[in-house]
């Protein structure tokens, strides 16, 4: 166990270092080639900012895991290679799904990709995950359901991937929000996998978490004026989303007895409540308003909080704290009540919070005699 702890920490640290080295080089190339995210009426940032930060993520994950596995083999332990050898299909098809999202995201950041093409690519990535043998085939009593028929499990797995990937991509609206929420989820999943002796997945989670640490610094504290600020872009959002999807599906496959009576479904969805609940609410809002659900607007949770007059440096930590509170409360509640009731409580709390935000926005309009666009509401 001590050697695995060393492996996990090494992967995390190497991932941090590699990403920290790559991002300044990406910034240099982006400014030389003028590859910027230009502000518009929907975007909040000021000044030109490169959106290619996510290009560093996949190389950092690969290099960190490969290097630690190589050193592990040189020391005649071979723990990592033996563990990897037990999941060949998951490794091969998982890498295919990751690379597909990485390339699609890069293409979107550089030249633009239509939303229909991205949606199709996400479905293909979901099918690849299913082909790897990772499927949500047991709901562990969630909505009073257990083992699912394979066709249903396949469809549910693809839907889960598409939902999570889009949730990560669409929540990336203010500095540090997407990377912060994903960082919380990856750290949580890494600890869970380490606790249940799924070391390969713990390595993947901590390697991905390591990429977000230096990115968060450049994204939140970097200044556009001195060419030190960067966005993850679709490259980072799609690749991080597919990594999270793989980890979520794998957690759903863990036997309940291995995690001290905690429901795996609760563990899987709790760290992603904020982005996933928000994307579902936004999609339903767009459909109800007669708008295309796939086209961007300004009705996400962070937009509503900004409409209250908050600064994005205040909004971001508040939303991250909300995510942590959901995780902690769900873990505690899972010891005592059914997972379905926990989900219903989460949904009710999310609806009530959004209703309060809408009323607060209207009250602010009346108080200051200002008009906030209807799409915030």
Domain ranges of the chain: 2-376
HEC-encoded secondary structure of 197-244: CCHHHHHHHHHHHHHHHHHHHHHHHCCHHHCCCCCCHHHHHHHHHHHH
- Give how far Cα 361 sits from Cα of 81, 284, 357, 375, Å: 55, 20, 6, 12
What lies within 8 Å, CB to CB, of 85 at 6+ separation is none
Which tens digit of pLDDT belongs to each residue from 34-45?
776 655 555 554
Both structure tokens of 145? 């359901």
The answer to whether residue 260 scores a pLDDT higher than 70 is no
Residues forming beta bridges with residue 37, ordered by sequence position: 49
Positive or negative, the CA dihedral 101, 34, 172, 271 is: positive
341 φ/ψ sector (left φ>0, alpha ψ -120 to 50, else beta)? alpha
pTM of the prediction? 0.91
Give the integer Cα–Cα distance in Å for 192 and 251: 8
> How sure is the predictor about 57, in pLDDT bands with cuts at 50, 70 and 90?
very high
Determine the average pLDDT of the residues in 168-175.
90
Give the integer Cα–Cα distance in Å for 141 and 266: 11
pLDDT, position 142: 84
> How sure is the predictor about 352, in pLDDT bands with cuts at 50, 70 and 90?
very high
> How sure is the predictor about 115, in pLDDT bands with cuts at 50, 70 and 90?
confident
Residue that wins the pLDDT comparison between 368 and 104: 104
Which tens digit of pLDDT belongs to each residue from 280-310?
999 888 888 888 777 777 788 998 999 888 8
- Give how far Cα 318 sits from Cα of 183, 315, 324, Å: 15, 5, 10
Both structure tokens of 154? 């396949």
Determine the average pLDDT of the residues in 267-292.
90
Alpha helices of 34-87 — where are they, by DSSP H?
Answer: 57-74, 79-85
Give how far the C-alpha of residue 365 lies from the chain's centroid of Cα atoms, to the nearest Å: 33
CA-wise closest residue to 308 among 271, 360, 371? 360
- pLDDT mean across residues, the chain: 88
CA-wise closest residue to 269 among 349, 203, 331, 179? 331
Both structure tokens of 39? 């502000």
Which tens digit of pLDDT belongs to each residue from 238-253?
999 999 999 999 999 8
pLDDT, position 146: 86
């Amino acid at each position: 166990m001590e050697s695995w702890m060393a492996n996990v920490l090494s992967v995390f640290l190497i991932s941090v270092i590699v990403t920290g080295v790559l991002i300044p080089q990406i910034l240099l190339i982006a400014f030389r080639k003028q590859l910027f995210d230009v502000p518009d009426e929907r975007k909040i940032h000021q000044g030109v900012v490169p959106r290619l930060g996510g290009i560093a993520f996949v190389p950092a994950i690969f290099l960190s895991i490969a290097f630690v596995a190589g050193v592990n083999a040189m020391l005649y332990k071979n723990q990592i290679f033996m563990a990897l050898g037990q999941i060949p299909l998951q490794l091969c098809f998982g890498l295919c799904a990751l690379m597909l999202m990485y390339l699609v995201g890069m293409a979107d950041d550089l030249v633009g990709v239509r939303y229909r093409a991205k949606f199709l690519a996400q479905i293909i990535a979901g099918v690849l995950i299913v082909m790897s043998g990772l499927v949500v085939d047991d709901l562990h009593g969630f909505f009073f359901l257990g083992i699912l028929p394979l066709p249903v499990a396949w469809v549910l797995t693809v839907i889960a991937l598409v939902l999570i990937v889009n949730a990560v991509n669409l929540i990336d609206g203010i500095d540090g929000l997407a990377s912060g929420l994903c960082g919380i989820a990856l750290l949580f999943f890494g600890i869970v996998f380490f606790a249940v002796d799924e070391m390969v997945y713990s390595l993947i989670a901590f390697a991905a978490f390591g990429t977000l640490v230096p990115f968060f610094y450049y994204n939140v504290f970097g200044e556009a004026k001195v060419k030190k600020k960067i966005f993850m872009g679709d490259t980072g959002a799609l690749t991080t989303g597919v990594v999270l999807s793989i980890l979520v599906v794998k957690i759903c496959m863990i036997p309940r007895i291995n995690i001290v009576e905690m429901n795996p479904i609760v563990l899987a969805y709790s760290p992603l409540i904020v982005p996933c609940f928000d994307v579902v609410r936004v999609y339903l809002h767009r459909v109800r308003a007669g708008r295309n659900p796939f086209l961007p607007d300004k009705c996400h949770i962070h937009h509503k909080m900004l409409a209250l007059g908050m600064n994005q440096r205040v909004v971001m930590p508040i939303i991250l704290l909300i995510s942590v509170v959901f995780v902690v409360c769900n873990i505690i509640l899972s010891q005592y009540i059914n997972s379905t009731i926990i989900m219903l409580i989460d949904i009710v709390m999310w609806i009530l919070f959004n209703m309060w935000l809408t009323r607060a926005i209207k009250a602010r309009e009346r108080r200051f005699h200002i008009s906030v666009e209807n799409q915030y509401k």
